[in-house]
A and B are shown apart, each in its own frame.
Chain A
Amino acid sequence: MENGAHDPLVPKIEVKNFSAFYGKTQALHNVDFTIFERKITAMIGPSGCGKSTFLRSLNRMNDFYQGFRVEGSATLDGEEIYSPTVNPVLIRQRVGMVFQKPNPFQKSIFENVAYGLRIQGVKSRSVLADIVEKSLKAAALWDEVKDRLNGSAFSLSGGQQQRLCIARALAVEPEVILLDEPASALDPISTARIEELMQDLKDRYTIAIVTHNMQQAARVSDRTAFFLDGTLVEVNDTTKIFTNPEDSRTEDYITGRFG
């Protein structure tokens, strides 16, 4: 993909010997994994293998589940994400997230994008307007909504709502964006737009995407990780994973022999 192959790989998130538990059930087993800066990392694997758990562990979104706990190490720029001195709110500002189902707020398009800034205390209308415009442009939604910023977010189509959620995440200027099956509820055309958008965004952001769809992983990502039953089976360059995987289980999965 482009000249990306020649860039030096800079680790952004490093996960070592990482396990995650919901109460007594263990959802992740000793995962070792590095997400590199300004690369798109895809996570594939059958349903229930722990992809979402892994993704949500990276911005501490699992903290809200009763009885969730982790073992091992996960760092963001070398800083422990689960250190007791770290404020999870700040982690979530640096590591944004887009969910499977578009979940805009019951507010105007403008206020949806401005929300993250408002909660940080930004009040100036001009600053907000500026960032809202920039974020909507970055999410490739500006032209479609610039005339109705005060309209309800619910008046948008599903694909537009998902791009609005991406704009909303971009507005707080995260360093990493986590996408959990962001296109699985969308039609093919909206899906293609989201995939294009990811290519535009990867110049500035580190992106991790969970997807059910192996073609999507092959199309959009630089690196692909294959999860099975809570373990990371294999992670490598996407082309390598899809042409010449090292583990036979990976091969079985991508050739559709199970899952």
Chain B
Amino acid sequence: MAENILPEKGLSSYRKVRNALLGSLTAVAFILAVTPLLAIVYIAYDRGKAALSLSFITTLPGGFPIGIEGGIANGIVGSLILILLASLLSVPVGIWAGLYLWDQSHTRMAKITRLLSDLLLGVPSVIWGVVGFFVFSTNTGFGFHWGFSGLAAGLTLGFIMIPIVTRVTEQALRDVPRSYIEGALALGASRFQVVRGLAIPAAITGIGTGILLGVLNVLGQTAPLIFTNYYNTGIPTSLVGSNGSVGDLAMQIFIYIHEPSKALHVKAMAAALVLTVIVLLLDMGIRLLAWGSRKYAQRMG
């Protein structure tokens, strides 16, 4: 390996100065990009370590005010349920829409769909919450009348996720070289065979990233939950109806931080740390899945 790609010797002093300047800018940009993560982890750990223990993630909150005793198992389970419900809706729909936009990219219908999908990306999450409330939760008027429930929240979050998955899927497919697709078509492959056997496997890492971005977005949402689920200190046996609310880590942190209790503030920070670890695990899990399915596709037709 070359030690230094850019030889320092023989450079004019102008270029030396420019190298040093751009090098420092790069360093500053890097520090600015990672500092928030370090700050989050450091502050959450420093303020929350007193509450950390195995039972913190395995037990339900108890005591008064609720949460003074016990852990955040309700939040962990609830968050996972919400991710699952949101993904069940958004992953198939988003990938399908992304495929459509890629395949039909020049048609008027696709252009309209793309525009609408991008508009949805900019809708504030509190609006999603209000609309989710009217469509899924409210007990009067039109809608599903599911009450404040995991299903209402999961689907609302799923709809938030669809345009994210759609956009990233389309972009990942666009990044598959045209020559690669043409190679298969020239062998007599049908469009479906090309999509299934080549385009999706080649784009799978990007599609995985899209799903991850969507899931992480969902994990961090609180506003939509306020209108469609609120919060549960236990683990529900149903996902609809008046007892169908689920816990949620982001909501739990939000609620604990607002309580005038030192002990709950400590728990909120510990929960933030747990949330960060869950994000990390999801990231690695989705990368592993993408890697596995690419390996699988390389073996198969």
Contact = CB atoms under 8 A, between A and B. Distances in A.
A194 interface: no
Interface residues of B, number: 23
Give the interface centre of A66, A89, A90, A168 by most chain B CB atoms within 10 Å: A89
B187 A92 contact: yes
B189 interface: yes
Contact of B183 (A89, A120, A165): A165
A106 B202 contact: yes
Give the interface centre of B177, B187, B193, B300 by most chain A CB atoms within 10 Å: B187
B201 interface: yes
Contacts of A114: 301
A169 interface: yes
Contact of A103 (B179, B201, B301): B179
Contacts of A97: 186
A209 to B, nearest CB: 15
**Which bracket fits the contact residues of A?**
20 to 34
Contacts of A116: 187-189
Interface string B47-79: 000000000000000000000000000000000
Contacts of A115: 184, 187, 189, 197, 301
B298 A92 contact: no
A59 B294 CA distance: 30
Interface in B153-182: 177, 179-180, 182
B182 A103 contact: yes
A189 interface: no
B9 interface: no
B85 interface: no
Nearest to A93: B188
Interface in A167-193: 168-169, 172
Given A99-B182, A103-B182, A119 B188 contact: yes
A92 B190 CA distance: 10
A99 B188 contact: no
Interface string A117-152: 011100000000000000000000000000000000
A96 B183 CA distance: 10
Interface in B185-200: 185-190, 193, 197-198
A106 B183 CA distance: 12
Give the interface centre of A99, A104, A119, A165 by most chain B CB atoms within 10 Å: A119
